[in-house]
Amino acid sequence: MTFRTLDTADLAGKRALVRVDFNVPVDGGKITDDTRLRAALPTIAYLSKQGAKVVLLAHFDRPKGKVVPEMSLGFVAEPLSKLLEQPVAFASDCVGPAAAEVVNGLENGGVALLENVRFHAGEEKNDPDFAKALAANGDVYVNDAFSAAHRAHASTEGLAKLLPAYPGLSMQRELEALDAALGNPKKPVIGIVGGSKVSTKLDLLNNLVAKLDRLAIGGGMANTFLYAQGHDVGASLCEKDLADTAREIIAKAEKAGCELLLPVDVVVAKKVAPGVETAVRPLDGVQADDLILDAGPESAKRLLAAMDASITLIWNGPLGVFEVPPFDEATVSAAKHAASLAKSGKLVAVAGGGDTVAALNHAGVSADFTFVSTAGGAFLEWMEGKTLPGVAALEN
């Protein structure tokens, strides 16, 4: 992938339309986690410093093309201005006279936030006329919302065709990290894919076995693979109807020379609850009423050794029910090991997806990974090998 980068742009006095992701969690009108606002700060600050008029475009919730007052982005302006330490003007619409008035009132370096782009049906339909109406308030377009890049909407894809288009600093960092993990990685590459169901990650598994040197499968989805290999998984979560599919993936991995790492021992209990009695079982020792809830110590040890033998790691999904200790042990030990290898420069460790981010935060190691993507759907679609419209639109 090749992109024009912001440091090559002529920005002084220009109106920079910046697509950000401000779809933040809210409780009682207050933002409960401002991670997404903070992610946009470097790009906004850079543009402002270069003398651009910074015009922010974002969506919030799902108003489905209608004006829904409780889904207005107005509440974001004040917390954002505090983080930026400069005023943020707010426009009651993202197109038309209300938007133009606020944008035209900006001084060089000033920042404005426009109203929810999804208040217009043309946004999600990627309507060319709506994209033109958005473009009327900009001279350059900057996409800093990787998390929305898997959608071909007017503000993520349509605009990029109408104005000189650049990735923002956050988007650029994400794309460079993803390229280092799967586009042009240093080999050998190991993947970890966990989570509860194989059915939600079929495209992902099929893409990865063709690209990786090793792939560790954990979580509930590992049970389906073990069952497909003839092991009894007791009362565990298992998609028995996908046994043939699992066998096809195993065969595909073998043909591609990708070593599959499935659990060789498991941690079981009779129910999922803190403080329950647990046991470590070999694969042939799982009882009829056992629930497999984590990978066992031998499996974890094997995974750590496989990381030691790799140069690049890409991770999506936990290895067990990490939310309920002690079924977090395999996930935590793998996360800590990967983080320590990454910190010492021995491993490029890239992770993403909601559960994965939560698991790495639980292990206290997110900051030591090379890169942790908070973009759920877009990260997964990229791992599946799909083209992301918002990314493709930025390519030179």
Binding-site residue ranges for substrate: 21-23, 36, 59-62, 118, 151
Q: What share of the chain is helix, strand, coil (3-state, %, to 5)?
A: 45, 20, 40
The two structure tokens encoding residue 52: 């651009």
| 234 is annotated as an active-site residue | no
Our CA angle for 308, 249, 333, nearest 5°, is: 30
142 with 166: CB under 8 angstroms? yes
* Of 361, 291, 283, the residue nearest 320 (C-alpha): 291
Q: 354, 376, 385, 386: which one is catalytic? A: 354
- Helix (H), strand (E), coil (C) string for 147-159: HHCCCCCHHHHHH
Contacts of 301 (CB under 8 A, 6+ apart): none
Task: Indicate the helix (H) or strand (E) that contains 220.
Answer: helix 220-228
Amino acid letter for position 286:
V
Radius of gyration of the chain (CA): 23
| CA 23 – CA 223 distance, rounded (Å) | 35
Q: 36, 53, 214, 302: which one is catalytic? A: 36
68 with 120: CB under 8 angstroms? no
Q: 4, 125, 132, 197: which one is catalytic? A: 197
| 354 is annotated as an active-site residue | yes
The two structure tokens encoding residue 293: 């809830």
| 214 is annotated as an active-site residue | no
Binding-site positions for ATP read: 201, 323, 353-356
What residues are labeled active site?
Answer: 36, 197, 354, 377
